[in-house]
Amino acid sequence: MSTLTKPNHIGRKISRIRELRDMKQEALAQALGTNQQAISILENSETIDEDKLIAIAKALGVTAEAIKNFSEEGVINYFNTFNESGNNTFGDYNSCTFNPLDKLIETVEENKKLYERLLQAEKDKIEYLEKLLKEK
């Protein structure tokens, strides 16, 4: 008896795409107007009729063909191409262009200056009120 999964188990593909989209079964169920138990049954089904597959694909934000052709290896290969080749689709947008610690220090310094200005304003108010009291 083989423990290998069947390569075209549509329910498992739906489950995996849903997980990659960070979607819970309840959210998919709500989008399809059904309940979580129905989604669980659906994800354990080897085949799904075309109309239902199209509705599921729409709820997941993919095409029915994407579900049919989905493979873990394909996803891994897709993302590995960004690290292996120097010319990825995203260019250098996925790299940080500033040091987060520098930004944090800058923010702390700005907050300190703001605090000092507010403190000085309060001291000026107290001084003004004390002056008014002495005049009386």
Per residue in 8-53, pLDDT tens?
Answer: 899 999 998 898 888 999 999 999 999 999 999 999 999 999 999 9
3-class DSSP state of 114? helix
- d(CA 14, CA 121) in angstroms, rounded, equals 61
Q: What is the mean pLDDT of residues 122-129?
A: 94
Q: pLDDT (tens digit, 9 = 90+) per residue, 73-120?
A: 777 666 666 555 555 445 545 555 666 777 778 888 888 999 999 999
- d(CA 21, CA 57) in angstroms, rounded, equals 12
In degrees to the nearest 10, what's the CA dihedral of 3, 4, 6, 12?
A: 90
Q: What is the mean pLDDT of residues 49-59?
A: 92
Provide the whole-model pTM. 0.53
